[in-house]
Amino acid sequence: MCMSTEANFFNEMLQSQGGTREPYQAYAQWLDGEDPKQLLKKLTEAESFFRRTGITFNVYGQSEATERLIPFDIIPRIISAREWSSLSRGIEQRVRAINAFLHDIYHRQEIIRAGRIPADLIAHNEAFEPRMIGFTPPGGVYTHIVGTDLVCTGEGEFYVLEDNARTPSGVSYMLENRETMLQMFPELFTRNRVRRVSDYPDRLRQSLSACAPPACEGKPVIAVLTPGIYNSAYYEHSYLADQMGAELVEGHDLRVHEGRVAMRTTRGFKPIDVLYRRVDDNYLDPLSFEPSSTLGIPGIMDVYRAGGITIANAPGTGIADDKAIYSYIPDIVEFYTGEKPILNNVPTYRCSEPDSLAFVLDHLDELVVKEVHGSGGYGMLVGPAASKRELAKFRQKLKARPGAYIAQPTLALSTVPIMTKQGLAPRHVDLRPYVLVSGQGIHIVPGGLTRVALKKGSLVVNSSQGGGTKDTWVLED
């Protein structure tokens, strides 16, 4: 089956001089023998499966909480064992450094004393949580679950786009993508030795259990705290709770009872040991954060600091998501590990710095500009794809609040084929591997979630902005 190509972009399936790249060879042989019409029929079947299963998400904006089906493409993204080994080392190095950084800024702040990052970047950062100063979470783990967003620009060339250290989402789609592929194309998994991802819920439970608080007695009780059914990731919250055998709870299901956070049951209140929260810091405890919040549990921060519960991820980890902090991650990695970063950052301009701001304003049509605290593709500008009006409007935003933005060059993101009515066509992708951290070690799921920009030429892969997903294969040695 032939595929069109895009000049100047690395094609992960096809070699520039012709032929198929090694990781895709067994798959390509199978694909050449398939009827394109039957594959398109499979694509429709996959959509029906996702709709029946209820794999949707809510989009916030003009039509509040509009429910959408996440588009799924049946052509897998394939990564060799050698390539994955290198990526894994870089991800683990980065995650260890981030946890060390979080411990340091809430204790001695040695990195600031050493002059490696500005004190104002921490002290005046809205994601910095003063209530965590001097407190060490159970097991010394701040980021129990991390999603590291990566992009590929060439053979073995990967860059980190951002570190999702607060409440990374999307893992349920990774799991459902694999399950769908196994059901629809079982023969592919006999031809290709693909590392499994299905054990993620078990590993998540084990990892969270290993971070149980001092007050825990016996087998840890784990619960997933969700904002409720109208949250964009509610499907994932309920899915993970079900797969882990954990309780799915909302704030009104919980209360502080006899010094513990407990949930209502038919037999009274049952203490929770580990709370995997999918609620932002500001809404976690109305006594400590936003007083009007009905999503959290009054007094949970007092129980947390007293050793009565583990909160995953820890409050205050959002500062590691901060895109201004991101620009210092190479220094952070070197400071805490004594090693050069294995994975590179994308070159970043801090608009808070006058010289950088001047450069960004002069080259706005060439850059991607992001909000420092933004996520999900909202509030960003892709300069090369923006209209003159959009550029002018964003220029005013930058001048008004320069410290709220960073800018980066537009990278030549790699492409992976998707199935279309006209045949295979290349589309840009990123990759979000998921990392589990506990006192027992670090586990990186082999693969993760590949997000794909379904519109031709688009670099925006977020599902909230029209992107889709595909199964990610990491091959065995």
C-alpha dihedral sign at 177, 179, 183, 185: positive
H/E run at residue 89: helix 81-105
pLDDT confidence of residue 250: 97
CB hemisphere CA count around 356 (13 angstroms): 19
C-alpha dihedral sign at 108, 110, 111, 112: positive
Burial of 206: CB neighbours in 10 Å, binned 0-12, 13-18, 19+:
middle
Beta strands of 1-99 (E only): which ranges?
A: 56-59, 66-69, 72-79
What confidence tier does 300 reach under pLDDT thresholds 50, 70, 90? very high
- What the block records as the tokens of 402 is 């320069």
Q: Amino acid identity, residue 330? A: P
What confidence tier does 410 reach under pLDDT thresholds 50, 70, 90? confident
Question: Which runs of consecutive H residues, i.e. helices, occur in 275-403?
Answer: 300-305, 323-326, 329-337, 354-362, 388-400
Question: pLDDT by residue (tens digit) across 39-58?
Answer: 999 988 888 888 777 665 55
- The residue with greater pLDDT, 465 or 89, is 89
Structural domain boundaries in the chain: 347-409
Burial of 57: CB neighbours in 10 Å, binned 0-12, 13-18, 19+:
buried
Q: Is the pLDDT of residue 66 over 60?
A: no
Question: pLDDT by residue (tens digit) across 313-328?
Answer: 999 999 998 888 999 9
End-to-end CA distance of the chain: 27
8 A C-beta contact, residue 432 and residue 15: no
Q: Is the pLDDT of residue 336 over 90?
A: yes
Number of Cβ within 10 Å of residue 49's Cβ equals 16
Sheet holding 405-409, edge to edge: 349-350, 405-409, 367-371, 381-382
Beta strands of 27-144 (E only): which ranges?
A: 56-59, 66-69, 72-79
What confidence tier does 64 reach under pLDDT thresholds 50, 70, 90? very low
Question: pLDDT by residue (tens digit) across 145-161?
Answer: 999 999 999 999 999 99
- What the block records as the tokens of 329 is 């991650």
Percent of the chain predicted with pLDDT > 70: 94
What confidence tier does 143 reach under pLDDT thresholds 50, 70, 90? very high
Nearest to 288 by CA among 277, 304, 276, 274: 304
Question: pLDDT by residue (tens digit) across 80-99?
Answer: 999 999 999 999 999 999 99
Q: Is the pLDDT of residue 18 over 50?
A: yes
> 347-409: which CATH architecture?
2-Layer Sandwich (3.30)
pLDDT confidence of residue 455: 87
Lowest mean pLDDT among 1-5, 49-53, 122-126: 1-5
Q: Is the pLDDT of residue 227 over 90?
A: yes
